[in-house]
Structure 1
Amino acid sequence: MNRIIEASVHFIDVVASRGIPATITLILALGLCRWVLHRQIKRQEKLSDELKLRWTNIVKNTSYLVLVISLVLIWAPQIQTFALSLTAFAVAIVIATKELILCFSGTILRMSSRPFSIGDIIESGDYLGYVVDQNFLTTTLKELEPDFYSATGKTLVIPNSLFLSAGITNHSFIRPYMIHSFNIYLEPNARQVNVYHNLLSTILEEYWDTFQQENPKFLTQIRGKRLIQQDALPKVRFTTNDGAKHKFVVTFPCRAEARLEQEQAILKRLFATEIQ
């Protein structure tokens, strides 16, 4: 007990004499650097909003990393002396900080595998949205509605520990393009299955010809990502659902921002055609 009291007194003395001034100076210096860099990023008119957001995020996380490392270096001797007298509390500290440790572990996994970056559309567990911010504990998403990929207006802040237990689906792996899919449900009619299938195939073939002319680098990018080219081509598949309705699954490549527009164009053309 006496050793704990002596260590505590020594720790407080050192904090008052050296630790606090150094810490305050460090925080002020990092805050100033971060403010200057943010102003410089905002003034860069040639950078897109997405790149500005990404660089702002990098500056923020780098400043946090420098702060943590610097604080450890400043306080390491004092913490070591104090901690030697508090070994009995080590297990309690680990238990109390379990979630924080899991979040840091998820961050390490994310940084090492780089499954996504700012601006990507990702899906993990029950969450789907645009990545707008990342830090050492959480990832912030602008939520998307799963059926139409339209914004809900909500912001999701998910702990990075989720990435340890749930897979990550990156819908923007071939950004600025994506492979979009949607379903069409029709009442059962065996005579019209081939008619609808052929009509959808024709619509997709014409769409593909136009898409290649407007996006000549798409196939080159697909090969650069080591993806199977056949998987990126427009296609339509026929099946049935649990309600015995006919189901057509339409898949096609598009620019991420135009996915809903192209989907609506295909649907309008399909149902504008008179089926005998």
Structure 2
Amino acid sequence: MNLQQLLNGFVEQLQASDSLLRLTISTIVLVTIVFFARWVLRRYIRRNINSSDLRRRWLVQLRNGLLLVLLFGLFMIWGNELRTFALSLVAIAVALVIATKELIICISGTLIKSGAHAFHLGDRIQIKDYRGDVIDQNLLTTTILEVGPGKNMQQRSGRMVVLPNSLFATEPVINESYSKDYVLHTFTVPFKRTDNWRLAQQELLRVAQEYCRDYMAEVKRHFDRMSYRTGLESPSVEPRVTLQVEDPEDITLVVRIPTRTEGRNWLEQTILSDVFSANDFSRKPDA
């Protein structure tokens, strides 16, 4: 069986060599004929055409015509091999694209986030379930210090997350630090409908106004500058507490406060601590 395989391989090599030899001989014959015809015709033109302009024109046309004949002849001789070679190149290109697909998507994501100026070092971003402060970015990856757990926490978990930049080509990015120095920070406080949530609403608003009062003018100027730069209407920056009802038995108080970017966790925890340490909202006051 091994001897038969060797014989078959030897025959195939002979056939390939014979085919290559025929193609090479045909190419040499074609080139020889073209160059001989060029030599003969150039001599004829030089001897029989007296006008220098006409002679030059015929020599140029002869050169171009014989070049086309040579290229056409080579294509006819090597056409099958060229098609096979082209198919091989296409197969290699497809395999290369498949093998490097993730790499290509990562580079595309880098171009997208750079072109959109989506975020910068130090910004707090969220993409899919990943949320944190950006500490490094390069052509293929972006590194963040995770903030959490959950979307409502404002403290770092101590973990570092390396994100492939391919995410930025397919997923939306939330930049929580877009307004830089000051942000409008939001947090929620859930209650049962049987709890004294009205008192909680009043107390949360009162304490939030107390802590934000000293820098409200500075916050307003900051967002006015942003509004002028972006062409958008300046938002209301005063602390507010609104209601959200997602379940008939529950009420959620949504607290929004202006705060410095780096101090949002401290201010949120301080407000909650002051309100809940001084009040009991587990039942409504007697009518």
Q: Is the 8 A contact 1:140 1:157 kept in 2?
A: yes
Comparing 233-242 with 252-261, greater Cα deviation is found at: 233-242
Deviation at 1:140, TM superposition (A): 0.8
Deviations 1:98-117 (A, max 9, x none): 11111111111111111101
Within the alignment, does 1:148 sit opposite 2:153 as a pair? yes
Deviation at 1:238, TM superposition (A): 1.1
Deviation at 1:182, TM superposition (A): 1.0
CA distance in 2, matches of 1:227, 1:259: 24
CA distance in 2, matches of 1:232, 1:105: 37
Deviations 1:207-229 (A, max 9, x none): 33222256574233432344543
Q: Is the 8 A contact 1:143 1:155 kept in 2?
A: yes
Within the alignment, does 1:219 sit opposite 2:223 as a pair? yes
Higher radius of gyration, 1 or 2 = 2
Q: Is the 8 A contact 2:223 2:235 kept in 1?
A: no
3-state secondary structure, aligned to 1:265: helix
CA distance in 1, matches of 2:131, 2:219: 27
CA distance in 1, matches of 2:200, 2:242: 11
CA distance in 2, matches of 1:193, 1:98: 54
CA distance in 1, matches of 2:201, 2:167: 40
Matches within 5 A, 1:172-183: 172-183=177-188
Deviation at 1:123, TM superposition (A): 0.4
Deviations 1:60-93 (A, max 9, x none): xxxxxxxxxxxxxxxxxxxxxxx98962411111
CA distance in 2, matches of 1:189, 1:229: 37
Q: Is the 8 A contact 1:212 1:218 kept in 2?
A: no
Q: Report what 1:131 is aligned to.
A: 134
Matches within 5 A, 1:93-104: 93-104=96-107
Aligned length: 195
- Between the aligned residues of both structures, percent identity stands at 32
Matches within 5 A, 1:110-129: 110-129=113-132
Q: Report what 1:254 is aligned to.
A: 259
Q: Report what 1:189 is aligned to.
A: 194
Residue segments in structure 1 that go unaligned for 5+ positions in a row: 3-82
CA distance in 2, matches of 1:252, 1:228: 18
Q: Is the 8 A contact 1:174 1:225 kept in 2?
A: no
Residue segments in structure 2 that go unaligned for 5+ positions in a row: 1-15, 18-84
Moved over 6 A (4+): 83-86
CA distance in 1, matches of 2:255, 2:217: 21
Amino acid at match of 2:253: F
Comparing 214-223 with 171-180, greater Cα deviation is found at: 214-223
3-state secondary structure, aligned to 2:193: coil
Amino acid at match of 1:135: N
Deviation at 1:197, TM superposition (A): 2.1
Deviation at 1:187, TM superposition (A): 2.9
3-state secondary structure, aligned to 2:235: helix
3-state secondary structure, aligned to 2:160: strand
Amino acid at match of 1:201: L
Change in Cα spacing, 1:197 to 1:123, as seen in structure 2 (3 Å) is same
CA distance in 2, matches of 1:229, 1:269: 30
Deviation at 1:250, TM superposition (A): 0.6
Matches within 5 A, 1:24-43: none
CA distance in 2, matches of 1:100, 1:243: 49
CA distance in 1, matches of 2:226, 2:268: 21
